[in-house]
Amino acid sequence: MRLRSLLFVPGDRPERMRKALTVGADALILDLEDSVALSAKEGARAAVAAFLAEAGRAVPLFVRINPLDGGLADTDLAAVLPARPTGIVLPKAEGAASLADLNARLRARGNEDALVLPIATETPRAIFRLGDYAPGTPRLAGLTWGAEDLPAAIGALSSRQPDGSYTPPYEMVRALTLFAAAAADVAPIETVFPAIRDSEGLRAYAERGSRDGFTGMMALHPDQVPIINAAFTPSDAAIAHARAVCAAFAAAPGAGVLTLDGKMIDRPHLRQAERLLARLG
């Protein structure tokens, strides 16, 4: 499953869900958490379940439920699981324990195949659990992070510098999420870019994420999707080079170091090339 762009859609706006299917996002995240007021959650559950039942799965459909410890998650799951969402986005996740808890709740409702995408950095405790997402967990679709809930949880005034870049604590959290996803052998998904009208800022942010090793990004607005898709789609030149690296090592399977286009390449270059080609789906 290619996950370059994952577009959030409020669960209480069914008209936006239908439109979102047409904007080119690799997946939709139908939101029952932050974008839906408490008074609107019951209606949002019904709207999301109805949409899941009618939409098909040409676009993977994830549902962001409410946190497991908040008293609403079980009601969310009871409403949407019969309609077989592609996966569940888990907010306030705190490592393997949260993953096991959600897995138990899914299995108790007869669901064995829904994927899980944890938002893995929204509480202080979560930061110390990032290494817990072990490889080989079948449900784990990736790891993503957020820079909004954590500052509130610790009493910080902001996660950002005046120019919009992250302050050092949140740069660290971003990096830890990237490495945790690599350690678990799942997709690292960059967090949202809140300035939805700043196309150039988004482009720079998404390209930085791709450069650093993220393979996709969450989006808040349909207009962000084409920019994100472009940033996380390898260029023709990068694809050609990756194929050349793989071909060179295939032709010399016992070699540790080779020369390609006048430059040394070794096994890490091969692994990098294989990972890039795997992103093509």
Closest CA to 20 of 222, 257, 281: 222
Mean pLDDT, residues 185-199: 95
- Whether pLDDT at 187 is above 80: yes
Neighbours of 53 (CB within 10 A): 12
pLDDT value of residue 233: 92
**Greater confidence, 128 or 136?**
128
* Confidence at residue 281, expressed as pLDDT on a 0 to 100 scale: 65
pLDDT at residue 83 tops 70 = yes
Residues of the chain above pLDDT 90, percent: 78
pTM of the model: 0.90
Better-predicted residue by pLDDT, 222 or 134:
222
Using only C-alpha atoms, the chain has a radius of gyration, in whole angstroms, of 20
- Rounded to 5, what percent of the chain is helix, strand, coil? 45, 15, 35
The predicted structure's pLDDT at residue 279:
76
